[in-house]
Chain A
Amino acid sequence: DQQVKQNSPSLSVQEGRISILNCDYTNSMFDYFLWYKKYPAEGPTFLISISSIKDKNEDGRFTVFLNKSAKHLSLHIVPSQPGDSAVYFCAASNYGGSQGNLIFGKGTKLSVKP
């Protein structure tokens, strides 16, 4: 049973436009959410996180939105750049329950075209 779902395996956007990556979760105990970017043959790189007490967190071109009632979060990248082309993973955890493990989605491959 997949607790974190990224329903779009791929996304293609034009350079300069907005990229929106979506993630849904089923476990209401999750209280901390993260986005990672991964290039081939490398490890995931941490991008941005959000606690369940917030509904938005912003860091430069990256903004994460959390809708707890819908159990949905999204990552916005604006403006998108060709170097953003990578696989993006959404991850969730239950830190309040002292759960250190992250539950990952299967990823969305973003292609930003020049």
Chain B
Amino acid sequence: NAGVMQNPRHLVRRRGQEARLRCSPMKGHSHVYWYRQLPEEGLKFMVYLQKENIIDESGMPKERFSAEFPKEGPSILRIQQVVRGDSAAYFCASSPGLDQPQHFGDGTRLSIL
């Protein structure tokens, strides 16, 4: 039973480029969450999605960041015109329901040159 799959594991971008992070939830999980972790910090919530719907995006910056979870395929976190401050580990989690434990992928480490 595969866990939450994130790719790529490492992503290097130059300032101004776009970054696309992918997340395939565990089988049977329809709730997807994205978190960001800065060095020496805990994980910070960004966005919560169910199939084709954004449920809560209160933790996501209003500009340059977007997320989707289409009917078919993985969830995508997109960061446009990246800046140095976007360098972080981005984790995706999934759960079968709102009140069920979230299970995390191994993250994408984004580095901005």
Contact = CB atoms under 8 A, between A and B. Distances in A.
Contacts of B22: none
A42 B103 CA distance: 12
What interface size band does chain A fall in? 20 to 34
A64 interface: no
A53 interface: no
Interface string B35-50: 1000011111100100
B86 interface: no
B56 A99 contact: yes
B91 A43 contact: yes
A49 B101 contact: yes
Contact of B33 (A98, A100, A103, A107): A100
Interface stretch (B65-73, B77-85, B104-112): B104-112
Interface of A: 4, 32, 34, 36, 41-46, 49, 89, 91, 95, 98-107
27 contacts: A34-B102, A36-B104, A41-B106, A42-B106, A43-B4, A43-B93, A43-B104, A44-B91, A44-B104, A45-B104, A46-B102, A49-B101, A89-B43, A95-B98, A98-B98, A100-B48, A100-B55, A101-B33, A101-B56, A101-B58, A102-B33, A102-B35, A102-B45, A102-B102, A104-B35, A106-B40, A106-B41
